[in-house]
Amino acid sequence: MYRTHTCGELRIQNKLNKVILSGWVQRMRELGAMTFIDLRDRYGITQLVVDDKSTDEVRKITAELGREFVIQAEGEVKERSSKNPKIPTGDIEIAVEKITVLNKSEIPPFTIEDNSDGGDDLRMKYRYLDLRRNPLKQALILRHKMAQEVRRYLDSQNFLEIETPYLIKSTPEGARDFVVPSRVNAGEFYALPQSPQTFKQILMVAGYDRYFQIVRCFRDEDLRADRQPEFTQIDCEMSFVEQKDVLQMFEGLAKHLFKNVLNVELQEITQMTYADAMKYYGSDKPDIRFDMKLHEITELAKGKGFSLFDNSEYIGAICAKGCSAYTRKQIDELTEWVKRPQIGATGLIYIRLGEDGIKSSIDKFFTTEQLQEIANETSAQQGDLILVLCGAKKKTQGQLGSLRLEMGNRLGLRDAKLFVPLWVVDFPLFEWDNDTQRFYAMHHPFTSPKPEHIDKFYSSNNEDIENVNANAYDFVVNGVELGGGSIRIFDRNLQQRMFEILGFTPEAAESQFGFLMNAFKYGAPPHGGIAFGFDRFCAMFGGSDSIRDYIAFPKNNNGRDVMIDSPSPIDNSQLEELSIKLDLKKR
């Protein structure tokens, strides 16, 4: 037997017990003739003591121990003379009677502490050592808890967890697929799913009523920071539901998770239309922990002879409360901030409501009364600072939205301990792409139009089609989109029209999605669902912006697993069996 207890288990009640512990040497301290060893396992740390009452054998082995050695120690539980109230086992220590080295360790390439001295690349390569650190361990334990609670809730609501296949079919719509050459069917390929979308709809057609899965999805995208080629979704679908039924069910899930994982009582989830989100927050995922809404001042600001404004489609302002004392330097710095390529604004106008009255960077063109009108529009009061951006409407709203978040950060308005959820609804069904001169589905091609927009959906006029709203919804918390879904098309003709608008030939639609449209012939029920980004959900619960710490074995920004050194070349015999060969171009 390797242990009678874990390293997080012993308390003062265990005093005088003979115990066996196994674990890793976290650190060692010598104090005169005494050696203290912090023994660590997943459950905690327990102090071992070797002193002059220990046997020669024990002292000899102890002298040869090093960090991260795996040892087994046998001894008696004693009350500590100087207790450590910071750890649950801090009242006791083990007087070691026998010690065995189960495995040695070379000196780790970085310290296994909450704040390691190892760089990112090194820690990725030695992921097994990085994973020993508390922050990563807590992240994965949190993820485990989340997964169990997701299942507990959905199981209690009669959802069935049903596994859908990973070897499916490539469809060019959407992001790039990872593909898998078939050996048995030479020249043919499977694709890894970007989501189980069509399968979950098929399950609704099959009458399964409520489905869920915590499922891996794959996208062969050029990786940006914090995107992973494989990621995990909580994927759900329900039959015989309208939008409000879905929102209610998953409001329940969100509340369950916040309550049972974080012990947070989530407030009622408000709904906001996509149009309002863009208008008031310059974002389709507004952070509504703080106000500071966008105010359009185009009417008030245009035609005053300031050519930058006069040539703009849109002029918008936010009011930063209590910031009238911002220095020239601070404002210059903000101006640089909005001019960075990530934001892309051409400049920043300010109006200051100081003790000495209204001052602005556009005093030359505006009277005090005109500035006051703008101030009134933004509800600014003495002591506030108004920040103004102008340009093309959509772009400027986005820039102002980013500036709003930045000001929220600077003013400490984005409380990490506060969670404010939101449903964003009434998305447009389509986005027009100028480059390819075609419509794309904003959500995906299976999302149904709003019933009241069906006429426009069948219109031959592009402007009508652009104005069709979708029966779609996003779940947003603190400015982060955690999930999204829609009520689906369940009518074969409507689905065909959708593919037509997206520029599919009938043949292409048939070859890629024929099975779904066929299924719609045989009694498809009304249905809808949602998918949550599980990695991001976990990161948000853990208080982190980065999903990487919440994935046990993430890939780097080149899609490489540097620990196992993958991807890697394969044998020619393997290629041959798969009926493919390499086709490398000099680049």
**Subset of residues 3 to 22 that bind a second copy, contact rule: CB under 8 A:** 3, 6, 22
**Subset of residues 532 to 571 that bind a second copy, contact rule: CB under 8 A:** 551-553, 555, 558-561, 563-571
Exactly one of 403, 519, 531, 540 binds a second copy (CB under 8 A); that residue is 519
**Subset of residues 237 to 296 that bind a second copy, contact rule: CB under 8 A:** 240-242, 245
Cβ 201 to a second copy shortest distance, Å? 9
Nearer to a second copy, 202 or 353 (CB): 202
**Subset of residues 105 to 144 that bind a second copy, contact rule: CB under 8 A:** 105-106, 108, 126-129, 131-132, 137, 140-141, 143-144
353: which residues sit within 8 A by CB, 6+ positions away?
324, 375, 380, 381, 382, 383, 384, 385, 386
Q: Per the omega criterion (within 30 degrees of 0), is the bond before 567 cis?
A: yes
Exactly one of 163, 265, 356, 452 binds a second copy (CB under 8 A); that residue is 163
Exactly one of 61, 69, 93, 427 binds a second copy (CB under 8 A); that residue is 69
The verdict on 521 binding a second copy (CB under 8 A) reads yes
DSSP sequence for 293-324: --EE-HHHHTTSS-HHHHT-SEEEEEEETT-T
The Cα–Cα gap between 507 and 510 comes to: 5
350 forms bridges with which residues in the sheet?
A: 387
The verdict on 235 binding a second copy (CB under 8 A) reads no
Exactly one of 95, 411, 508, 578 binds a second copy (CB under 8 A); that residue is 578
Cβ 282 to a second copy shortest distance, Å? 33
Cβ 473 to a second copy shortest distance, Å? 18
The verdict on 579 binding a second copy (CB under 8 A) reads yes
Candidate segments 45-53, 206-214, 258-266, 400-408, binder of a second copy by CB under 8 A: 206-214
The Cα–Cα gap between 298 and 283 comes to: 19
The verdict on 332 binding a second copy (CB under 8 A) reads no
Exactly one of 95, 122, 206, 494 binds a second copy (CB under 8 A); that residue is 206
> Which amino acid is located at 495 in the chain?
Q
- Per-residue x/- track, 77-106, a second copy (CB under 8 A): -------------------------xxxxx
Exactly one of 160, 275, 392, 416 binds a second copy (CB under 8 A); that residue is 160
By CB under 8 A, how many residues form the interface with a second copy? Answer: 126
The verdict on 340 binding a second copy (CB under 8 A) reads no
Structure tokens at 209: 């009523």
91: which residues sit within 8 A by CB, 6+ positions away?
11, 12, 79, 80, 83
Structure tokens at 15: 């005093």
Cβ 557 to a second copy shortest distance, Å? 10
Structure tokens at 395: 């772009």
- Backbone dihedral angles phi then psi of residue 186, each to the nearest 5 degrees: -60, 135
Exactly one of 16, 175, 184, 225 binds a second copy (CB under 8 A); that residue is 184
- Per-residue x/- track, 396-435, a second copy (CB under 8 A): ----------------------------------------
Nearer to a second copy, 113 or 466 (CB): 113
316: which residues sit within 8 A by CB, 6+ positions away?
282, 294, 295, 296, 297, 298, 388, 389, 390, 396, 397, 400
The verdict on 328 binding a second copy (CB under 8 A) reads no
551 forms bridges with which residues in the sheet?
A: none
Say how many CA atoms lie within 13 Å of 338 toward its Cβ.
28
Nearer to a second copy, 166 or 337 (CB): 166
Cβ 428 to a second copy shortest distance, Å? 26
Q: Is 42 helix (H, G, I), strand (E, B) or coil?
A: coil
463: which residues sit within 8 A by CB, 6+ positions away?
none
Residue in 176, 180, 185 with CA at minimum distance from that of residue 167: 180
Nearer to a second copy, 199 or 427 (CB): 199
Residue 145 CA, distance from chain mean position: 17
Nearer to a second copy, 129 or 420 (CB): 129
Cβ 121 to a second copy shortest distance, Å? 15
Nearer to a second copy, 48 or 400 (CB): 48
Candidate segments 184-192, 274-282, 356-364, 389-397, binder of a second copy by CB under 8 A: 184-192
Residue in 238, 141, 185 with CA at minimum distance from that of residue 549: 141
Nearer to a second copy, 120 or 332 (CB): 120
Exactly one of 76, 97, 173, 230 binds a second copy (CB under 8 A); that residue is 230
Cβ 22 to a second copy shortest distance, Å? 5
Exactly one of 89, 116, 164, 402 binds a second copy (CB under 8 A); that residue is 164
Exactly one of 44, 229, 344, 383 binds a second copy (CB under 8 A); that residue is 229
The verdict on 40 binding a second copy (CB under 8 A) reads yes
Cβ 240 to a second copy shortest distance, Å? 4
The verdict on 63 binding a second copy (CB under 8 A) reads no
**Cα three-residue angle 48-54-58, rounded to 5 degrees:** 75
The Cα–Cα gap between 53 and 6 comes to: 25
Say how many CA atoms lie within 13 Å of 403 toward its Cβ.
36
Q: How far is CA 443 from CA 166, 440, 449, 473, 486, in A?
A: 22, 9, 11, 9, 8
Residue in 235, 227, 220 with CA at minimum distance from that of residue 551: 227
Exactly one of 203, 300, 387, 388 binds a second copy (CB under 8 A); that residue is 203
Residue 63 neighbours by CB distance under 10 Å? 11
The verdict on 523 binding a second copy (CB under 8 A) reads yes
